[in-house]
Structure 1
Amino acid sequence: MELFETLDFEEQDLPLLTAVRAHGVAGRAWSINTDVGNLRSRLLTLQGYRCAYCQVPIDRDEVGHRELDHILPKSASSECTQAKGKSNAFGDRQHTFGYGQFTFEPYNLILTCKACNAFKKSFDPMRDRQGYVVSDDYPDGRQLLWFYPYSQRYSDHIERGDDWIYSKVTDEGDAVIRTCKLDKVAVLTIRFQGRALALASNAGNLRLALMALGTQVAMGNCSKTDAHIALVDALLLDEDQAIYYLNIVTNYLENGNFSDLEKIERLMAAALERAHVSPQVAADVIATVTH
């Protein structure tokens, strides 16, 4: 699964965008109506089933797996004063007067994971909050201190390493990283290892857990470190076993052929017959089909 880069609505989407905007023209309160729900599903497809901010895969179109984020917050935050609402200091940006006129503006809506949306909260990314005059014209992406997915490329603003380490490329990328806490190792550990642990636990046995986690690693959806920790915690393997098994499966998924698949099947058969299979035993099992 490739990383999400940028969003580009197509001509076929124009009726949907018009239908969503009509709710704002009618002065309706924010709700996930049929039109908004259709837009959410369309965004899920256009974003390649990934969060726009952290790139974590969004597995299902269900509450708890995805959220619609208003890039410019739709409502005023509580306890927002004139001073804080007009301040451009980063620490004051959770205080906002809100931008109600863009509540149903499709170009102000983006799909995120639940964690990123929860951390973003009411963050106001308008670059100059002192001089901006409220109007019904949605601002150009360059007026935002934020990665704007409708006109910018993710990789031009945020670099994501193989082990899910995020680095800023621009100030706009830095704002996303800091606000969504992508620079907090402890937060990322909980987020990504929790995902891997859920996969391993739901699999129920070593065969399914290895294939599920190996696939996630091969697709770049989680790191090998997260996967092997999940195997240790969910299936009570020791660390050497987890690393050994995972390397075999990921090597097959990335470079494998039918002989590699046969090795895995022999290993899995042995593993299912024993409570624990040591790396040495696994190596012996694999050796029986190497010639």
Structure 2
Amino acid sequence: MINLNECATIAIAVQTALDAIADDEKSDAWNTQTNDVKAFKVAIMDHGIEVQNTRCVWCTLEVAEEGHRTAHRDHIAPKGKHGRWTFEPLNLAISCEYCNGFKVKGEVETVVTVAANYADVEFLIVHPYLDNTAEHIRFVDNGAGYPIVIEGLSPRGIWTIDTMKLASPHLTKLRAMDHIFAKETAALPAEDQDLFKRAVGRVAP
């Protein structure tokens, strides 16, 4: 899991317009095509892709705006249950379509206690912005320095790993493959690295 220090900055006029939408209408407004909604979504995606180094906030695997492992704007407190936070930048991070899908996170309840101020909400899930993720979740050092095997360090860390299926054999294998790919690519001559990455549809680390 990735620890995030700063959420996206939204233009004041855009955020003001979105905040003015009634709380019980915000979730539905997410799927509209107004200029404010589109500007908000672009800001969230651009910021997330950059600060997360094109990786899913949960499983840490590589994502892209198109193609394999598509990047999703993931509402940490699900917008279907907590519509008031639909356009709260602190409530959004970039994840892959697997982690954000209905078979994993989807509309799973991640909140214990709602508060008027988002930063005061009590979460079940380890929050990438509000928590120091290293206190809850870590990757076990396998001697090679690759973040492959994940371990929970707290009840919330264990809940997050179990709920998000982060320790599944499938994701563990993919993380191992991802880092072996990075190691092997780094061993190539510099002039061959970009060519190889483009050929297999991978972005530079």
1:190 Cα deviation from its structure 2 partner:
6.8
Q: CA deviation at 1:67?
A: 0.8
Moved more, 30-39 or 164-173: 30-39
Over 3 Å counting, the alpha-carbon distance change for 1:38 and 1:139 in structure 2 is closer
Quote the residue 2:117 is aligned against: 137
Of 160, 163, 166, the match for 2:139: 160
- Give the 3 Å change call, closer, same or farther, for CA 36–214 of structure 1 in structure 2: same
The percentage of aligned residue pairs carrying the same residue is 23
| Letter paired with 1:109 | L
Higher relative contact order (CA 8 A, sep 6+): 2
Aligned partner (choices 97, 104, 126) of residue 147 of structure 1:
126
- C-alpha contact (below 8 Å) 1:16/1:39 kept by paired residues: no
Instruction: Please state how far the C-alpha of 1:7 moved relative to its aligned partner.
Output: 2.5
Q: For residues 189 and 107 of structure 1, do their structure 2 counterparts lie closer, same or farther at Cα, with a shift above 3 Å needed?
A: closer
Q: Going by fraction, where is helix more abundant, 1 or 2?
A: 1
Structure 1 residue identity aligned to 2:155: D
For 1:27-46, list aligned pairs within 5 A.
Answer: 27=22, 28=26, 29-31=29-31, 33-46=38-51
Distance 1:35 1:72 in 2: 17
Is the 8 Å Cα contact of residues 7 and 90 (structure 2) preserved in structure 1?
no
**Alignment match of 2:154 (pick from 159, 170, 190):** 170
| Alignment-mate amino acid for residue 183 of structure 1 | A
Aligned to 1:80: none
SS at match of 2:151: strand
Q: 1:209 is matched with which residue?
A: none
- Distance (whole Å) between structure 1 residues aligned to residue 118 and residue 5 of structure 2: 16
Q: Given that residues 139 and 150 in structure 2 are in contact (C-alpha distance below 8 angstroms), is that contact kept between their aligned partners in structure 1?
A: yes
Matched-pair contact (CA < 8 Å) for 1:50–1:56: yes
CA distance in 2, matches of 1:73, 1:154: 20
Is 2:72–2:97's contact at 8 Å kept on the other side of the alignment? yes
Q: 1:21 to 1:67 in 2, by over 3 A?
A: farther
Q: 2:118 & 2:161 partners in 1: Cα distance?
A: 24
Q: How does 1:203-242 map to 2 (within 5 A)?
A: 215-216=181-182, 218=183
Q: Name stretches of at least 5 consecutive residues in structure 2 with no aligned partner.
A: 32-36, 141-145, 190-205
**Residue 16 (str. 1) matches residue 11 (str. 2):** yes
**What is residue 112 of structure 1 aligned with on the other side?**
95
CA positional deviation for 1:26: 2.6
Letter of the 1:145 counterpart: L
Aligned match of 2:75 = 70
Larger Rg: 1
Unmatched runs of 5 consecutive residues or more in structure 1: 76-97, 197-212, 219-248, 262-291
Runs of 4+ in 1 over 6 A off after TM superposition: none
TM-score using structure 1 length: 0.50
CA distance in 2, matches of 1:66, 1:9: 16
Are residues 184 and 17 of structure 1, via their aligned partners in 2, closer, same or farther at CA, if it must alter by over 3 Å?
farther
Structure number with the higher strand fraction is 2
Native 8 Å contact 2:166 2:172 kept in 1: no
Question: How many correspondences in the alignment?
Answer: 171
- Change in Cα spacing, 1:153 to 1:17, as seen in structure 2 (3 Å) is farther
Contact 2:149 2:172 in 1 (8 A): no
